[in-house]
Structure 1
Amino acid sequence: MRVLVAVGTTSAVVGLVAACGADASDDSDPERRSFALSGRTLTVDSDDSAVELVVAGDKGARDVRVTRWFDGRTVLGKSPKVTWKMDGDRLTLRVKCSGVISNCSAKHRVVVPRGTAVDVVNRDGSVTATGFREPLKVRTADGSVRLRDVSGPLDLRSVDGSVRAVGVTSKRVSATSKDGSVRLDLAAAPDRLQARSQDGSVDIALPVTGSKGSKKSKGSGEGGAASYRVDTETVDGSTDVTVPRDDRSPHHVSVRSADGNVTVRSAN
């Protein structure tokens, strides 16, 4: 009888933990820490966490400032543990959450000094970034990529997650997704844009007239109006290109999709 009671009690606890999903936004008292950064590059190595990247507002800041929200619980396992450390220019963020039943949620907000190039690798978590002017490289597994108002060179790759970027004025853009769609909204004509998707659609919006930062050049019309050298390829999908095309244009756009549609349209 005692064994049955124990099993019944454990089952009730397991059910309670499973029913009450962890949510990092429930953490009303997040932890904060600053890490010294001597150089002009930062690598963020993270897992099991959403990562938000923001450029520091103060020009003189040289520290990387991190805010961490965490909520978690386990049954018949070790207590959840979150760690952070800086080694040289590498910031490592870890979440350890294991048991018969485990339920954890973490979010890190990383404020980066101005003028810093960032390389992010995140497993089992999304990445968002805003306002970057320096090179930004993002790799995610089981997580989406969301960018806004960026102007530095972009290299974005996601596995089992979509890629979205809006307000982009970068001259060089590369975006790849496996098992996810790609959508890029550009506010200035790129020199080179490459987008790839496997099992997902690709939607590219390009400025045609009055584009921000555009200038009259070969392949452009009056008032900075842009045309594009576009090449596309699809497998099991349709193609729709409605931007002005010119094989001599300095703005090269290359799009490939397997099992998804390709759209290259005007952003104006």
Structure 2
Amino acid sequence: MVRLPSRTVTARVALAVGGAVVLVGGVTACGASAGDDKDPDHRTFALEGRTLTVDSDDSALEIVAADGNPAGKVEVTRWFQGSVAIGKDPEVTWSMKDDRLTLRMKCSGVVADCSAKHRIEVPRGVRVEVEDGDGSVRARGFEDALSIRTGDGSVHVTDSSGPLTLHTGDGSVHADVDSRQVRAETGDGSVHLELGAVPDLVDSRSHDGSVTIALPRATYRVTTETGDGSVDVSVPRSDSSSHVVTARTSDGKVTVGTAN
């Protein structure tokens, strides 16, 4: 595997040492943004099989099921900005082994400030599992199963019809999809689900935030629970319905209604 050079930026920082001010060369670190990278890196990885696991430690991710993507190929574009005043230069790496795409960023030292973003284009017909330690995740276009888990960041899925499993430790979850099976959970944030097809199962949970579900016209078996907040269910209900909807939050409002 060819190892591509890391992308580095230095920073100028004023440090007080024994009453004196020492300048470390570069520019002042003040909030790196990957979007400022005007020359992103691009690479194509071979994919064996019909599943892909994206393993990222600290990056915003955009994942797209692309019609034009050739079978067996995963296209990745990477934006990166970073600076470390005192310490090792920041580094970003990417690699593929079997069906696992691993994305890593090393950024530590005095006044370390780094930001990374990846766009991953996946062929149609591939099941995708995302594991992101810290960063928002956006996905669209999936007809097969999609699982997203991030420790800290929002999750947003659109234009998809395959089964969804969405989880964030801290952030909102938003899905506007035709999926018939949706599981969505956040530790701290709101959940908003808008479904274009009558689902078989919706299981949504927030430990601290509102839960809103908009459904097509049908009769549903609905279970709701909130520790502190109001509940508003306006869809037709029946305990014998095969369309099961659960909405729970420890602190927030629960709304289950008909989509416009």
TM-score (norm: length of structure 1): 0.87
| 1:64 and 2:56 are equivalent in the alignment | no
| 8 Å contact from structure 2 (residues 61, 119) kept in 1 | yes
Unaligned runs of 5+ in 1: 209-225
Matched with 2:226 is 234
| 8 Å contact from structure 2 (residues 69, 122) kept in 1 | no
Matched with 2:213 is 204
Distance 1:4 1:83, change over 3 A: closer
| 8 Å contact from structure 2 (residues 66, 141) kept in 1 | no
| 1:261 and 2:253 are equivalent in the alignment | yes
Distance 1:6 1:79, change over 3 A: farther
Per-residue CA deviations over 1:90-132 (Å, capped at 9, x if unaligned) read: 0000011111111111100000111000000101101000110
Which residue identity lines up with residue 16 of structure 1 in the other structure? T
Q: 1:156 aligns with which of 166, 191, 196?
A: 166
User: How far is the alpha carbon of 1:197 from its aligned partner?
Assistant: 0.7
User: How far is the alpha carbon of 1:59 from its aligned partner?
Assistant: 6.2
Unaligned runs of 5+ in 2: 1-15
User: How far is the alpha carbon of 1:48 from its aligned partner?
Assistant: 1.4
| 8 Å contact from structure 1 (residues 169, 186) kept in 2 | yes
User: How far is the alpha carbon of 1:180 from its aligned partner?
Assistant: 1.2
Question: Which whole-Å CA distance do the structure 2 matches of 1:139 and 1:250 have between them?
Answer: 28
Question: Which whole-Å CA distance do the structure 2 matches of 1:51 and 1:155 have between them?
Answer: 16
Root-mean-square deviation (CA, aligned residues, Å) is 1.8
Moved over 4 A (4+): 3-7, 12-15
Per-residue CA deviations over 1:21-56 (Å, capped at 9, x if unaligned) read: 111111111000011001000000002110100012
TM-score (norm: length of structure 2): 0.90
User: How far is the alpha carbon of 1:238 from its aligned partner?
Assistant: 1.1
Aligned with 2:205: secondary structure?
Answer: strand
User: How far is the alpha carbon of 1:16 from its aligned partner?
Assistant: 2.0
Distance 1:233 1:5, change over 3 A: closer
| 1:184 and 2:197 are equivalent in the alignment | no
Q: 1:244 aligns with which of 233, 236, 239?
A: 236
Question: Which whole-Å CA distance do the structure 1 matches of 2:123 and 2:20 have between them?
Answer: 53
| 8 Å contact from structure 1 (residues 14, 101) kept in 2 | no
Q: 1:92 aligns with which of 77, 84, 102?
A: 102
Which residue identity lines up with residue 245 of structure 2 in the other structure? V
Q: 2:120 aligns with which of 110, 113, 123?
A: 110
> What percent of counterpart residues are identical?
57
Question: Which whole-Å CA distance do the structure 1 matches of 2:189 and 2:25 have between them?
Answer: 36
Distance 1:92 1:246, change over 3 A: same
Matched with 1:128 is 138
Aligned length: 245
Q: Counting helix residues as a fraction of each chain, which structure ranks higher?
A: 1
Q: 2:180 aligns with which of 153, 171, 176?
A: 171
Question: Which whole-Å CA distance do the structure 1 matches of 2:183 and 2:202 have between them?
Answer: 6
Matched with 2:84 is 74
Distance 1:155 1:164, change over 3 A: same
Question: Which whole-Å CA distance do the structure 2 matches of 1:139 and 1:59 have between them?
Answer: 24
Which residue identity lines up with residue 187 of structure 2 in the other structure? K
